[in-house]
Amino acid sequence: MAQAWRCAGLSWTAGGPVLIWDGGRRSALTWGKTVAFGVAEGGARTCVGARGNTCPHTARVSARSTGPRCEECARLDRAHSVAADTLADDPRRYRVYLAWFGPGMAKVGITAERRGSARLLEQGAVCFSWLGTGPLMAARRTEELLRAALRVPDRIPYAAKRAARAALPATGEERAAEIAGLHGRALALTGWPESLDPAPFRPVDHVEAFGLAEAPAPVGAVGELAAGGAVSGELVAAAGPDLHLATDRGVLVLDTRLLPGWELVPAGGRRVEVPVRALKEPPAAQDGLF
């Protein structure tokens, strides 16, 4: 029987997307590279555990879920995280950003300064600009101020981001236009924490980094993995956790968050033998953006 591997997820580096495997092995992904794997026969998707610990129940996880943990491990993994607001005394500096994912879709968020733009690549932000830098709680207060004053969300469903990428404006200037307006309005607001240093508008565009300009439009997405199934295709683009693969069924989107928890084995060809679903239509314009 072929050796089985367990995927720990996708990471973005300066050189592009990288698949990470349990044990530390990494697979760099470049355009044109074949991404191929099978799912071990007779297996099931099991919880990956949390914070370096294995799941005490070896619990099963839904094949359709983008979260690879059971409820108990998910709670443990989230504890003491920035997102859960349990690290008020974190001494690191944080950046507030405005990110844009497609027409009418902008959000505000924060990320650790030391991470650079990695968080924006992981989210699939088509373009973004920094708003300011400061202590964690100052960054969090600024995020809340902008959400309330500008009616910009801090979360956007990933299916909506994926659909929006099918209808992107052709130029970087057009893609940056919405966050340019928001950035100007944000800096004009009163009530910014004194410890947060505002940043000028300097848009960063990820269309080239994601390979979206030259890639054919996807015709569908992998809905879930299944024991005995296989996915194989040529990488033509990637954005956030998504890989766009040219397969025998056209270009399909593979959300790599579906991989952790499965035992994966080598496969070949350009075949796809797992459930595939249609992509959602691009969303309507975001209410209240301006």
Give the span between the Cα atoms of 260 and 45, in whole angstroms. Answer: 8
Q: What pLDDT was estimated at residue 23?
A: 86
Considering the entire predicted model, what is its pTM? Answer: 0.91
How far are the Cα atoms of 35, 43, 71, 273 from residue 259, in angstroms, in the given order? 13, 13, 18, 15
Tell me if 136 sits within 8 A of 82, measured CB to CB.
yes
Tell me if 84 sits within 8 A of 72, measured CB to CB.
no
Q: What pLDDT was estimated at residue 232?
A: 95
Structure tokens at 235: 């990488």
Closest CA to 15 of 26, 4, 2: 26
* Tens-binned pLDDT, residue by residue, of the chain (290 aa): 568 899 999 999 988 999 999 988 999 999 999 999 999 999 899 999 998 899 999 999 999 999 999 999 999 988 766 554 556 667 899 999 999 999 999 999 999 999 999 999 999 999 999 999 999 999 999 999 999 999 999 899 988 999 888 889 999 999 999 999 999 999 999 999 999 999 999 999 999 999 999 899 899 999 999 999 999 999 999 999 999 999 999 999 999 999 999 999 998 777 899 999 988 766 554 444 33
Closest CA to 270 of 237, 242, 233, 235: 233
Q: What pLDDT was estimated at residue 150?
A: 92
How far are the Cα atoms of 76, 126, 169 from residue 186, in angstroms, in the given order? 35, 20, 24
What percent of the chain is helix, strand and coil (3-state, nearest 5)? 20, 30, 45
